[in-house]
């Protein structure tokens, strides 16, 4: 049996979605931080178990053709990116393989399309949530810790958000504010509007008014300044109560030919241009015809459903979402876009009234769908289901359940909404078999 701290010469055969190179040492799977497929390395085992090892690179003997120099000085200390050290073309190959492996593991035969990307790998994030330390340090967590690495310029974030974050961070340090937990920012790419949401343990603290006034005066694009209260000992970023201190309770953006109001609690895709490509594919997969109806489960502020309803003008839309603020946004967004044949219900997707309709769209959180909801969709004899997912593993698991209940799936289409990270979005069409 190999021992901890032993040195080995290996060749890396793969990379997983956490960014670890994979090899074997005396037959045991070994994960190597920072390693790239086809690297020849000298490694040191830093963790040895019965089923796997973890190692670090001691020396690169021969570098892989896929290896590149990282553009980010914080990589790999910061846990935000896992693929900064490989070419983007190879990253896309890995993501397609990840989706393929998830479906294979779930026992579902599926054709996996090439990854769709606009090849923009920097400055695409329109939403950021920075943890703030007790001494005012602001940035991102070190990999697998809650230690904050101060980040002066994250390459993923939209440049305008960086400037706002740096100003707020400087204010927090100068005033020695210790109750702020996160700085949460959003920007509307099409309109330029910015949302600032301070997540605090307290509703009132002496410097709050000054912070609000200074930020809104310095940055004219800030149209919403909010305070969210989270005093619980939890890893969840946002608390239940949000107060608007200045401006509107939302910002507005334009996406897929529609204008959307987005509140602090509403879900909205972080990559604007890739979201448009994803929603366009989802609309085509729905195959809606004149006069048909469809249901949008987990509808958020209505982005997918309303963008499709605007194209299929006679289609009737019902959206379901559990977050009240998002439902209010969705209702306002329907009016804003002149879409009269849309209704929205606040509630759990599993409690949705699955009235007779031609198509259902689901876009659940990472945990995927419940078996109860899958059964309800099948029992309601929904003919067409378009499933949008940010987690290939739960998507594949749920598709296996749908297949068992009489559905067949088309091609799985991966979309890279999160370049340089291990995440990949997917959309698939499920069709009820006849007979």
**How far apart are alpha carbons 29 and 26 in whole angstroms?**
9
Give the pair of three-digit tokens for residue 383: 């003919």
The burial class, CB within 10 Å (0-12 / 13-18 / 19+), for 166 is middle
Instruction: Please check whether residue 104 is in contact with residue 397, taking contact to mean a CB–CB distance below 8 angstroms.
Output: no
Peptide bond into 321 cis (omega under 30): no
Burial environment of residue 205 by CB neighbours within 10 A (0 to 12, 13 to 18, 19 or more) = middle
Q: How many residues does the chain have?
A: 435
DSSP string, 1-39: ---TT-EEEEE--EE-TTSEEEEEETTEEEEEET--TT-
Residue from 78, 299, 390, 399 carrying the catalytic annotation: 390
End-to-end, the C-alpha distance of the chain in Å comes to: 57
Please say if 151 is a catalytic residue.
no
Structure tokens given for 301: 């502020």
* CB within 8 Å of 174: residues ≥ 6 apart: none
Catalytic residues: 390
């Amino acid at each position: 049996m190999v021992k901890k701290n032993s040195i080995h010469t290996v060749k890396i055969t793969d990379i997983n979605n956490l960014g670890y190179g994979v090899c074997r040492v005396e037959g045991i799977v070994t994960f190597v931080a920072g390693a790239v497929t086809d690297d020849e390395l000298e490694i040191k085992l830093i963790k040895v178990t019965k089923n796997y090892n973890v190692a670090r690179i001691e020396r690169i003997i021969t570098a892989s053709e896929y290896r590149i120099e990282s553009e980010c000085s914080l990589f790999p200390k910061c846990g935000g990116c896992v693929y900064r050290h490989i070419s983007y073309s190879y990253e896309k190959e890995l993501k397609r393989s990840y989706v393929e492996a998830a479906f294979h593991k779930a026992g579902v035969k599926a054709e996996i399309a090439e990854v769709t990307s606009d090849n923009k790998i920097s400055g695409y994030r329109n939403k950021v949530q920075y943890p703030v330390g007790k001494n005012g340090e602001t940035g991102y967590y070190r990999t697998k810790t809650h230690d904050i690495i101060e980040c002066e310029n994250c390459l993923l974030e939209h440049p305008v958000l960086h400037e706002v974050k740096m100003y707020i961070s400087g204010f927090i340090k100068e005033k020695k504010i210790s109750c702020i937990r996160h700085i949460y920012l959003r920007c509307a790419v099409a309109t330029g509007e910015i949302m600032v949401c301070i997540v605090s343990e307290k509703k009132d603290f002496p410097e709050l008014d000054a912070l609000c006034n200074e930020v809104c005066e310095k940055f004219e694009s800030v149209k919403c300044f909010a305070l969210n209260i989270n005093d619980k000992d939890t890893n969840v970023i946002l608390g239940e109560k949000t107060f608007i201190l200045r401006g509107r309770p939302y910002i507005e953006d334009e996406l897929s030919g529609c204008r959307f109001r987005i509140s602090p609690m509403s879900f909205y895709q972080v990559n604007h241009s890739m979201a448009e490509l994803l929603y366009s594919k989802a609309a085509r997969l729905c195959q809606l015809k004149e006069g048909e109806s469809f249901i949008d489960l987990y509808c958020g502020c209505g982005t997918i459903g309303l963008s499709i309803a605007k194209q299929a003008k006679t289609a009737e839309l019902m959206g379901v979402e559990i977050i009240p603020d998002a439902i209010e946004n969705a209702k306002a967004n329907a009016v804003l876009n002149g879409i009269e044949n849309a209704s929205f219900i606040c509630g759990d997707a599993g409690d949705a009234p699955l009235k007779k309709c031609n198509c259902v769209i689901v876009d659940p959180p990472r945990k995927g769908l419940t078996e109860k909801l899958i059964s309800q969709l099948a029992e309601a004899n929904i003919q067409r289901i378009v499933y949008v997912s940010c987690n290939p593993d739960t998507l594949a698991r749920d598709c296996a359940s749908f297949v068992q209940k009489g559905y067949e799936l088309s091609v799985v289409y991966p979309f890279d909404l999160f370049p340089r990270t291990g995440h990949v979005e997917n959309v698939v069409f499920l069709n009820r078999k006849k007979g």
